[in-house]
Amino acid sequence: MKQLISTFLVFNFLVVAWSQTPEYSIQQLDEIVLKTDRYLETFSDTQLTSVLTDSVLLRSASSLTQLLNNNASIYFKENGLGMVSSPSFRGTTAQQTAVIWNGININSQFNGQTDFNTINIRSFDNVTVRSGGGSVLYGSGAIGGTVHLNNDLKFNSGFENNLYASYGSFNTWDVGYNGSVSSEKFSVDVGLSRTSSSNDYKYVDSDKTNLNGQFYNSTLSANFGYKINKKNVIKFHGYLFDSERHFSLLSPSETPTKYQDLNTRNLLEWQGFYGKFISTLRLAHISENYKYFHNSEKSTFSFGEAKSYIGKYQLDYQVFKKANLQSVVDVTYTSGESSNIEENNRTISGFSLLFKQTFKKLLYEASLRKEITNNYESPLLYSLGVQYHVTSNYAINLNGSKNFRIPTYNDLYWFGSGNLELNPETSNQIELGNEFTFNKTSFSVVGFYNDIKNMIRWLPSGSIWKPVNTDHVLSYGLEAKLHIEQQIQSHKIALGGTYAYTVSKNKDTEKQLIYVPNHKATAMLNYQYKRMSAYYETVYVGEVFTLSDNNPNYILDAYLLSNAGAEYAFGKSRNYTVGLQFKNIFNINYQAVLSRYMPGINYNFYINLNF
Amino acid sequence: MKNVFKLLTLIAVFGFLTTSCSNDNDDGTTPPVVSLGDYANGILVTAEGGPASVSYISNDYSTSENNIYFNVNNEELGVYLQSMGFNDNKGYIVSDNVNTVVVVDRYSFIKEGSISDGLNRPRYIAFSNGIGYVTNWGDPYDSSDDFVAVVDLSTNMVINTIPVGEGPEQIIAVGNKLYVSHKGGYSVNNIISVIDVTNSTVNTIVVNDMPDEMIINNSGQLVVLCEGKPAWTGDETLASISKIDLSSNTVIETLSFADGVHPSAMGYTNGKVYYQSNNEVFELSDSASTVPSSAILTLDATTPYGMAVKNDKLYVTDAKDYASLSDLIIYDLNTKSIVNTFEVGLNASKIYFN
């Protein structure tokens, strides 16, 4: 009852919801862009999505952490620049944010999360942030929200090249090449990128230096599309990521360690359009490998290795003119082992039904998913969303869903500790939002309420630690987003911002979860005059508790970071850009994790050539 | 990625869970009555962290202060603070991850120096004839590089190393002999090393698996708590309290625990051994030939972590969820009731009397 009342209260106090249709970068009328993760368009209308493309990606450092820290309301717990980075999305844990590569969930089989510093954004056409539950569409971990890494396939766009290079403080190199060639029938796109850094920054207000923080990562991506005939298309996406990071030291006398990642992802899709039916068959193989060197000068390491094979068949049927029914059958087979886990296999089969109908002012979408595995009891997942356009400028969204996070390999199989009795964490959530769109202005605000049960936590049990389903967490708050553009003659001004208010409490202790700020805001102001542009961006992160008893003596202070930059575009069609960036211009001394100091003011210079 | 940290945390926490406070390392120097410093005449509680810290509670409980090392020196102690040792007026703070022993004045806590070269995963320190001896795991994944570092206390330099078996833990000096319990580090071991400081020769005594806590009882015997291998190893072994005769360096008595019982902390006062198992505290007289079947008290703690006894008081730290500040809970051994509780550092694990 109490819960009902609080739900009701939250509802009253919520003002909004939202969804934004991605803006595609179609330059030529006859160019056709095919998206592989179609759910982002077809089943995300009643939730907030935010698409980060070209200029935003160009101005960001190559790590997914930095891109999203500056442009989204997700909070990052980053263990020093470039080190292990875990997200908290809408106050949830790192395992409750799913990262989706071209429609496939790539969170680690071992720990259930993605380290956002092991994703290099240069290989993707866009990065989309989708707030709120998405387990029916994207599986485990889609509780706080999902982050999508997308490669598009362009047809009819000829031969295009893009070269990007950046050099900056701490000997940081970030270079990338992307080449694509396409005709009416085929499309080929290959990308290469590499980021490396000595990462030996001085701590602000201290004579200490970030030691043993050097890293590199390289990415190779390849995307092919072939239209066999008018009714059949074949697509392939391939991806390889290789990185080595030394983990920075808290004290110079520590033993230096390092960590290597090698991840591969391959996806083959065959899509057929037959009258009222669309048939899609997907086969995918993804692998993750890590090696942890507990002494970077030695050759001994601990490791983890997991491979998944995914088969998925989807049939879309157009029931009425504006009503669509999809049925999906999928199977995922995973095999993994690590230094602490003997080889284990698991198979998860899933069945989904999705329905969407659009009327003049109203649309609704409903979906169901049930997974079957002998690992654990899987709940029935569902999602229901309604969107109503009150006026042409104002829409209301309502969405409710049940989502989950399944036990990981570590949770289930860790030698001596693994608990085969674990059940998935489950989340019941509801969100309500308003979205306002005017000519050059959009504003949205969404209120959410998320009740997460059976949270898996490792607790002492005799002489060891064992994972158990225990915690019950309530997360609620609001997310707001604003975008304004104005143009007066040759002067263009764009202003954008996000704000999130988040409460995330352990229901038993009534304490805020550690490393979840109540407030986070981002803002960006861009001014362009002809070929020149200058911008200023800022991020505010509120204070966070570092101890679970919310002891006020152990908090990390709030910080306000500011970056500024300028760009000049040259070439006949402004297809060459040079830019200069200043980060942390006020030389703020801040930490995202206790004792992990971040860099002060730093610089970089970049060029971006399209030819 | 995170699982590495989970692994490390688990290993670290497991290690710390099953180790515990050492016995009173007071070497017999009785502080004079004049004020020696702010932190004399009281209890020191070290906390692994991070952040690692040291707390002080006066003997009359009238004053207490957390983070005393930081407050005095404006400097953090690196994680993880494993243990402390005391020699004359000096305190030695052993931090294993940072391969460092920080030297302070034990009463003022003013930093006097540090031993930072030549240590590798230091665990505990003992003193004999004015020389310091520090147990080191070396690379915890390497079973053959474990050693005891010999430290010149005037220069704080490691002047020699004595190779020992896998996973040396606590160390006690008795005359010209050092006794080192080998719990095994990340692995499992079952020996006590006996080091003759006059010529650095090492002999070993085999005991039950995972020997950790050691005390010298009133009969001059070395009493060792062997935890036994826990069930999750798939090869569970019995825990025991073993008594070693120091003249012959042989085990003269082994009191075995029942199957599945793995006590983890031990102290000695008033001619009795106190140990803790599964949230309960047991009392064992020197003359007993079997371990007691019933506890003298059940702890009012979520996660008992460190334990010490002195006179008629029992001191226990409660690490709670390992992510909140710990409590030091003081019991009266006569009334079996709580005398006082103090909030101390994060993951407080060792209790010393200063």
* pLDDT tens per residue across span A477-490: 999 999 999 999 99
Looking at this protein, which amino acid is placed at residue B76? E
The mean per-residue pLDDT over the stretch A345-373 comes to 95
Say if residue B67's pLDDT is above 90: yes
Per the CB < 8 A criterion, the answer to whether A15 and A441 are in contact is no
Query: Which residue did the predictor score with more confidence, B199 or B32?
Result: B199
Predicted pLDDT of residue B87: 97
Q: Quick check: B17 and A463 CB within 8 A?
A: yes
Alpha carbon dihedral A32, A38, A40, A42, in 10-degree steps, equals 100
Say if B227 is an interface residue toward chain A (CB within 8 Å): yes
Cβ-Cβ pairs closer than 8 A, A with B, add up to 116
What are the backbone dihedrals phi and psi of residue B12, each rounded to the nearest 5 degrees, phi first? Answer: -60, -50
Give the mean pLDDT of chain B: 90
Return the structure tokens found at A251: 């004290």
Say if B325 is an interface residue toward chain A (CB within 8 Å): yes
Q: Quick check: B98 and A115 CB within 8 A?
A: no
pLDDT tens-digit map of A24-81: 433 444 778 888 888 888 888 899 899 998 889 999 999 999 999 999 999 999 999 9
Say if residue B252's pLDDT is above 70: yes
Q: Quick check: B78 and A251 CB within 8 A?
A: yes
- How close B104 comes to chain A (CA, Å)? 18
Scored b (16 or more CB within 10 A) or e, A380-411 reads: ebbbbbbbeeeeeeebbbbbbbbbbbbbbbbb
pLDDT tens-digit map of A105-152: 999 999 999 999 999 999 899 999 999 999 999 999 999 999 999 999
Say if A118 is an interface residue toward chain B (CB within 8 Å): yes
Predicted pLDDT of residue A583: 96
Number of H helices, E strands in chain B: 2, 28
Residue A284 pLDDT grade (very low, low, confident, very high; cuts 50, 70, 90): very high
Per the CB < 8 A criterion, the answer to whether A146 and A102 are in contact is no
Closest-approach residue (CA) in chain B for A253: B98
CA distance A243 to A217: 4
Percent of chain B with pLDDT over 90: 83
Residue B34 pLDDT grade (very low, low, confident, very high; cuts 50, 70, 90): low
Predicted pLDDT of residue A86: 95
Q: Quick check: B17 and A304 CB within 8 A?
A: no
Predicted pLDDT of residue B308: 97
The mean per-residue pLDDT over the stretch A430-445 comes to 94
Say if A255 is an interface residue toward chain B (CB within 8 Å): yes
Percent of chain A with pLDDT over 70: 95
Percent of chain B with pLDDT over 70: 90
Q: Quick check: B98 and A300 CB within 8 A?
A: no
Q: Quick check: B1 and A84 CB within 8 A?
A: yes
- The length of chain A in residues reads 611
H or E element that contains B290: none
| A115, A302, A594 ranked by CB distance to B1: nearest | A115
Q: Quick check: B18 and A463 CB within 8 A?
A: yes
Q: Quick check: A462 and B230 CB within 8 A?
A: yes
Work out the end-to-end distance of chain A between its first and last CA atoms, rounded to an integer number of angstroms: 63
Predicted pLDDT of residue A12: 35
CA distance B293 to B278: 13
The mean per-residue pLDDT over the stretch B265-285 comes to 95
Q: Quick check: B2 and A115 CB within 8 A?
A: yes
The distance of Cα B40 from the centroid of its chain, to the nearest Å, equals 20
Say if B17 is an interface residue toward chain A (CB within 8 Å): yes
Selection from B260, B227, B246 nearest residue B20 by Cα: B227
Say if residue A285's pLDDT is above 80: yes
Torsional sign, CA B50, B51, B52, B57: negative
Q: Looking at beta carbons, which residues of chain A come within 8 Å of B7?
A: 292, 302, 339-340
pLDDT tens-digit map of A571-606: 888 899 999 999 999 999 999 999 999 999 999 999
Give the mean pLDDT of chain A: 92
Q: Looking at beta carbons, which residues of chain A come within 8 Å of B10?
A: 417, 458, 464-465
- How close A287 comes to chain B (CA, Å)? 14
Per the CB < 8 A criterion, the answer to whether A544 and A556 are in contact is yes
Coil, helix or strand at residue B10: helix
Closest-approach residue (CA) in chain A for B67: A553
Predicted pLDDT of residue A8: 35
- How close A218 comes to chain B (CA, Å)? 18
CA distance A117 to A114: 9
Percent of chain A with pLDDT over 90: 85
CA distance A213 to A211: 6
| B1, B3, B323 ranked by CB distance to A547: nearest | B323
Whole-model pTM? 0.89
